[in-house]
Amino acid sequence: MELLYFAWVREAVGVGQEQVDPPEAVETVADLVGWLATRSPGHAAAFADPAKLRAAIDQRFVPLATPLNGAKEVALFPPVTGG
């Protein structure tokens, strides 16, 4: 699965994208965020407060409770505001 990170999430993790193969127990975006938080101090900082995150699976905005169901790409980013 390809992960894409944007804005301060990217800055905390230290990369804009990475390939991961999460364990079978990771079934939802929220599970993925929890698992990612264990990967490094940067990941832990980026994913410490999941309520501050938004997600997209295969370029569709989704709630964090959404099942991954074989997703090829997951993007994680802060809430988007207009201006």
Burial of 22 (0-12, 13-18, 19+ CB in 10 A): middle
Tell me, yes or no, if the pTM score tops 0.85: yes
Query: Is 82 part of any domain?
Result: no
Q: How many domains does the chain have?
A: 1
pLDDT at residue 80, rounded to an integer: 74
Backbone dihedral angles phi then psi of residue 3, each to the nearest 5 degrees? -110, 140
In a domain, 33, yes or no: yes
Percent of the chain with pLDDT over 90: 94
Domain membership flag for residue 11: yes
The whole domain housing 67 covers 2-77
Answer whether residue 83 shows pLDDT above 60: no
Q: How far is CA 66 from the centre of its chain?
A: 12
Residue in this structure with the two tokens 């709630």, named with its chain if needed: 63
Asked if residues 57 and 73 have their Cβ atoms less than 8 Å apart, the reply is yes
Q: Determine what percent of the chain is predicted with pLDDT higher than 70.
A: 96
